[in-house]
């Protein structure tokens, strides 16, 4: 009788713990907010982008790099047999239109599956584009050199490392140097969802890579996602998608990251873009992530764009700039502001160009 009572007690405790974790899991992963539309008056869908614009980075001269064609476990793709692309779009032209950048140098285009991107510009104006790639479900960071006049990318090298296990985004800080976020600890999607995410394991991290040394520089994230840097290079911003927060770090002289603060948000944020003139943060967000992972074309995932000013102050100002229920643009992942233009990209659908 004593053993039976003990087993029943253990079962009840475990059941209560399971229910508690289920509630927390739904709150973290499926922050489902039905928001009224808040659209901008002068926006148009960009012709030629129908398979996602997951990440965007813009050169000072207005040339925008766009990663398109991401195929990621558990997420929708409209063109599963089409290879990934890097698109280029000149925002200073009267009628900007994207063109696919040719990649030369023996790069394997058949397995190209681009995710996060970032560029680095040297003092001599040489430009390097870093692209997170998932060939056959693996993780790598590809480094290209961009030739502006000829408008093509030259493949330089592929970076892989055991610490770069599930890379989501990259932040270039040198011609061969970068920070990268890992968005999950376990490589198996099933184990990641049912063990790591369900039980709230904060085991993901940020890794710093250089040709001489690779090291973990920040940890304790539920799922580290977008990453970017302040214009002065002193602070690093990391989106923790399951914590609904931006984690702010000070970049140390040894490239380690020292925690400064966390800014909590009521949405699931994806990529972080930084206005190089003002330091403002533009966030691509998912107001109803449940729809993102259980895609229904009759009830698609919506989009939300937030603007954060003065993030280092005691009272940052957060402004909701754009909201859509998915009827125009689905699953916004990034927003980039350039000279009164706002470019909004999505995980797997279209992209929007707005005149502010």
Binding site annotation covers 169? yes
Residue 207 falls inside a structural domain: yes
Residue 214 falls inside a structural domain: yes
Residue 129 falls inside a structural domain: yes
Q: Helix-strand-coil percent breakdown of the chain, rounded to 5?
A: 15, 45, 45
Binding site annotation covers 100? no
Domain range spanning residue 41?
31-355
Binding site annotation covers 95? no
Write down the pLDDT at residue 73: 84
pLDDT tens by residue, the chain, 356 residues? 565 565 555 445 444 444 444 444 555 555 566 777 788 889 999 999 999 999 999 999 999 999 999 998 888 998 888 889 999 999 999 889 999 999 999 999 999 999 999 999 998 899 999 999 999 989 999 999 999 999 999 999 999 999 999 999 999 999 999 999 999 887 655 555 556 666 678 899 999 999 999 999 999 999 999 999 999 999 999 999 989 999 999 999 999 999 999 999 999 999 999 999 999 999 999 998 888 888 999 999 999 999 999 999 999 999 999 999 999 999 999 999 999 999 999 999 999 999 98
- Work out the number of other CB atoms within 10 angstroms of the CB of residue 127: 19
CATH number, domain of 343, equals: 2.120.10.30
All residues at 6 or more sequence positions from 258 whose CB lies less than 8 Å from its CB, including other chains: 249, 250, 252
Residues 113 and 69: beta-carbon distance below 8 Å = yes
Which candidate, 216, 236, 214, places its Cα nearest to that of 227? Answer: 236
CA–chain centroid gap for 96, Å, is 24
Residue 11 falls inside a structural domain: no
Write down the pLDDT at residue 24: 46
pTM assigned to the model:
0.91
264-276 residues labelled b (16+ CB within 10 A) or e (exposed): ebebbbbbbbbee
Residue 70 falls inside a structural domain: yes
Residues 222 and 239: beta-carbon distance below 8 Å = no
Residue 23 falls inside a structural domain: no
The Cβ-side half-sphere exposure at 270, using a 13 Å CA radius, reads 26
Q: Which of 115, 134, 177, 341 is catalytic?
A: 115
Instruction: Give me the count of residues in the chain.
Output: 356
What distance, in Å, lies between the first and last C-alpha atoms of the chain? 73
Binding site annotation covers 339? no
Binding site annotation covers 54? yes
Which candidate, 329, 264, 266, 349, places its Cα nearest to that of 50? Answer: 349
Q: From CA 304, how far away is CA 287, in angstroms rounded?
A: 6
Q: From CA 288, how far away is CA 89, in angstroms rounded?
A: 29
Strands (E), 74-223: 85-90, 99-100, 102-104, 114-121, 127-133, 140-147, 152-159, 167-172, 178-182, 204-209, 214-221
Binding site annotation covers 117? yes
Residue 314 falls inside a structural domain: yes
Measured CA distances, 93 to 22, 97, 223, 344 (Å): 50, 9, 38, 18
Sign of the alpha-carbon dihedral angle for 135, 198, 335, 231: negative
Binding site annotation covers 162? no
Which candidate, 278, 303, 279, 275, places its Cα nearest to that of 289? Answer: 303
Binding site annotation covers 34? no
Let me know if 355 is a catalytic residue: no
Write down the pLDDT at residue 213: 96
How many structural domains are present in the chain? 1
Residues 304 and 326: beta-carbon distance below 8 Å = no
Which candidate, 43, 48, 123, 105, places its Cα nearest to that of 79? Answer: 48
All residues at 6 or more sequence positions from 99 whose CB lies less than 8 Å from its CB, including other chains: 87, 88, 89, 151
Write down the pLDDT at residue 16: 46
Helix (H) or strand (E) holding 24: helix 2-29
Write down the pLDDT at residue 82: 87
Residue 151 falls inside a structural domain: yes
């Amino acid at each position: 009788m004593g053993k039976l009572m003990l087993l029943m007690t253990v079962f009840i405790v475990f059941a209560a713990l399971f229910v508690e974790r289920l509630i927390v899991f739904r709150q973290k992963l499926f922050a489902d907010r039905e928001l009224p539309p808040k659209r901008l008056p002068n926006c148009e869908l960009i012709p030629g982008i129908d398979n996602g614009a997951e990440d965007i980075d813009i050169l000072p001269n207005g040339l925008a790099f766009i990663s398109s064609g991401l195929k990621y476990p558990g997420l929708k793709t409209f063109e599963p047999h089409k290879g990934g692309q890097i698109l280029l779009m000149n925002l200073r032209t009267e009628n900007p239109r994207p063109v696919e950048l040719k990649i030369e140098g023996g790069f394997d285009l058949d397995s190209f599956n681009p995710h996060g991107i970032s560029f680095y510009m040297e003092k001599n104006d040489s430009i390097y584009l870093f692209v997170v790639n998932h060939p056959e479900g693996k993780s790598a960071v590809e480094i290209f050199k961009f030739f502006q006049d000829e408008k093509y990318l030259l493949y330089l090298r592929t970076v892989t490392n055991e610490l770069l296990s599930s890379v989501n985004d990259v932040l270039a800080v040198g011609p061969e140097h970068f920070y990268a976020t890992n968005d999950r600890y376990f490589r198996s999607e099933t184990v990641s969802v049912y063990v790591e995410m369900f039980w709230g394991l904060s085991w993901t991290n940020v890794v710093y890579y250089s040709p001489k040394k690779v090291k973990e520089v920040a940890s304790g994230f539920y799922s580290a996602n977008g990453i970017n840097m302040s214009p002065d290079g002193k602070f690093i911003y990391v989106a923790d998608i399951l914590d609904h927060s931006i984690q702010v770090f000070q970049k140390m002289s040894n490239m380690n990251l020292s925690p400064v603060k966390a800014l909590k948000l009521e949405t699931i944020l994806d990529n972080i873009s930084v206005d190089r003139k003002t330091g403002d943060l533009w966030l691509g967000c998912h107001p109803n992530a449940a729809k993102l992972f259980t895609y229904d074309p009759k009830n698609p995932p919506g989009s939300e764009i937030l603007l954060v000013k003065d993030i280092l102050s005691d009272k940052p100002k957060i402004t909701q700039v754009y909201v859509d229920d998915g009827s125009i643009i689905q699953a916004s992942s990034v927003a980039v502001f350039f000279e009164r233009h706002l470019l909004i990209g999505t995980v797997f659908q279209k992209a929007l160009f707005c005149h502010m």
